[in-house]
Amino acid sequence: MKEILSRRSFVQSGALIAAACAAPGATPLLAETTTAPAKSLPVKLGLASYTFRNFTRAQMLGFMKQLNVTALNAKDVKDHLPADPTEEAKALADYASVGVKLHAAGAIYFAKDEDADIRAKFEYCKRVGIGVIVAGDPAPATLPRIEKFVKEYDIRIAIHNHGPEDKLWPSPLDVLKAIHRVGPRLFNIHMKDLTDFKSRESQVAVGEGIMPVRGIFQALIAIKYKGFVDLEYEIHGDDPMPGVTASFAYMRGVLAGMGYATHA
């Protein structure tokens, strides 16, 4: 499904609607349509902390405040969510103090098909009360062992397909082959955009590429998806905020265009 509306045309159309509402003699029908209450938001937007991998936790929290985002998919990068229990507790206290809630952790890599290694990663997430592990490149042969810990800890695993460069899970369809069905088993989404689906180097801000964002949101709403859509912006690591800001503005704009409220 092709995204029909570019960011520029979306912003321009929004400005035109606002101007029409403000103009003398605007029709009651237009005013009534544009002031109708929006439906509550069915898609929860969050942030993957890897986006700010070159910044400290304190800096990231400042960025999140600017973005008006409080849902975080945290990773053990910089000091975002250290695996050391004491440092982990400090991070949790910092997040709680500003109202940021952790809903997932990752990507976390399961390189060893060994109980001790897998258990340590589940314990890490249990300590902070995270219910979803975003797993990077788990070998198919490791999944039965990982599933034992999923049942023991009641923590879900979401397999992170990285795209065409991923030798194990290049596509969600490859994940489907291993787990057989998705729908209610879709636990987390990392959102990004590309101008070429075959090249990871073509990443751009969400809305500037060819990702069918509106179609994705429509599909998630149709299956009553309960998880988060977390922006993972991997380019311009030293200065990500322009692209991150534009990405959230576009996603919120798409949802607003679908008739949903995107503010608290």
Q: Which pTM value belongs to this model?
A: 0.78
Q: Which amino acid is at 260?
A: Y
Q: CB within 8 A of 175, min separation 6: which ones?
A: 159, 161, 169, 182
Q: CB within 8 A of 98, min separation 6: which ones?
A: 61, 64, 65
Rounded to whole angstroms, the Cα distance separating 41 from 173 reads 28
Q: What is the pLDDT of residue 141?
A: 85
Residues 21-60 pLDDT 10s: 333 333 333 333 344 555 778 899 999 999 999 999 999 9
Residue 199: Cβ within 10 Å count: 12
Q: Is residue 29 part of a domain?
A: no
Q: Is residue 113 part of a domain?
A: yes
Q: Is residue 23 part of a domain?
A: no
In this structure, is the dihedral angle defined by the CA atoms of residues 241, 259, 216 and 142, taken in order, positive or negative? positive
Q: Which two tokens stand for residue 241?
A: 């905020």
Lowest mean pLDDT segment, chosen from 25-34, 69-78, 89-98, 250-259: 25-34
Q: Is residue 208 part of a domain?
A: yes
When divided into structural domains, the chain yields a total of 1
Q: Is residue 70 part of a domain?
A: yes
Question: Does residue 213 have a pLDDT over 60?
Answer: yes
Q: Is residue 24 part of a domain?
A: no
SS (H, E, C) 157-174: EEEECCCCCCCCCCCHHH
Task: Give me the domain span that covers residue 164.
Answer: 43-257
CATH code for the domain of 83: 3.20.20.150
